[in-house]
């Protein structure tokens, strides 16, 4: 019968050696992985740097091409900068023209106007004179019936009617045209 008195000790030593070997392996594998990773990252960095340099060249080339179109660009910028105001002015002008045309359509021949202000709100103070009653009635009739494609008389108020020295009839009429704010 054989009795091994160092069995426990041997087992312990073997265990230690196994751990050491394992640790060494882990260390070696880690080093290898880190080295590979380092190589990979460096290669990636180099590749990106080269791509960046390439992009930089393309950017500078594109910029120089754009500079050649500076004349066209400045004209385009000029047009765009004025477009907004111009469009608003055209709209305003259309409304003004419609109001002015509506007023001229209302006035019968022989009428003398001291003046009227044309505004986009469509409120007009018509001051003037007509030679006789028939012209005044014709003016009233035209005001009542005034309808154009864009405008119609929403409200008309006679403020004053008086006789002048030479027999003419003076009038002062407030007119509100609707459809001017569309």
Residue numbers at the binding site for other proteins (CB under 8 A): 19, 22-23, 26-27, 30, 34, 37-38, 41-42, 44-45, 48-49, 51-52, 55-56, 58-59, 62-63, 65-67, 69-83, 85-87, 89-90, 92-93, 96-97, 100-101, 103-104, 107, 109-119, 128
Cβ at position 124, least distance to other proteins in Å: 10
Cβ at position 130, least distance to other proteins in Å: 10
The DSSP letter of residue 150 is S
For other proteins, the closer CB: 1 or 67: 67
Cβ at position 145, least distance to other proteins in Å: 19
Which of 173, 179, 99, 102 has the alpha carbon at shortest distance from 140?
173
Residue 135: CB atoms within 10 A of its CB come to 18
Q: Considering only CA atoms, give the Rg of the chain.
A: 48
Cβ at position 178, least distance to other proteins in Å: 20
End-to-end CA gap in the chain: 119
The DSSP letter of residue 108 is P
């Amino acid at each position: 019968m054989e009795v091994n008195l160092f069995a426990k000790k041997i087992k312990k030593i073997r265990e230690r050696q196994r751990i050491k070997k394992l640790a060494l392996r882990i260390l070696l594998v880690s080093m290898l992985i880190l080295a590979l990773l380092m190589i990979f990252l460096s290669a990636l960095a180099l590749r990106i740097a080269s791509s960046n340099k390439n992009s930089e060249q393309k950017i500078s080339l594109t910029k120089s091409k754009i500079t050649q179109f500076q004349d066209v660009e400045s004209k385009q910028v000029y047009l765009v900068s004025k477009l907004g105001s111009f469009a608003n002015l055209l709209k305003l002008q259309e409304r003004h023209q419609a109001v002015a045309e509506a007023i001229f359509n209302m006035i019968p021949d022989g009428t003398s106007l001291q003046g009227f202000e044309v505004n986009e709100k469509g409120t007009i103070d018509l001051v003037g004179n007509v030679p006789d009653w028939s012209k005044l009635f014709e003016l009233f009739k035209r005001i009542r019936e005034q309808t154009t494609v864009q405008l119609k008389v929403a409200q008309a108020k006679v403020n004053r009617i008086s006789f002048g020295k030479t027999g003419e009839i003076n009038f002062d009429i407030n007119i509100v045209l609707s459809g001017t704010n569309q």
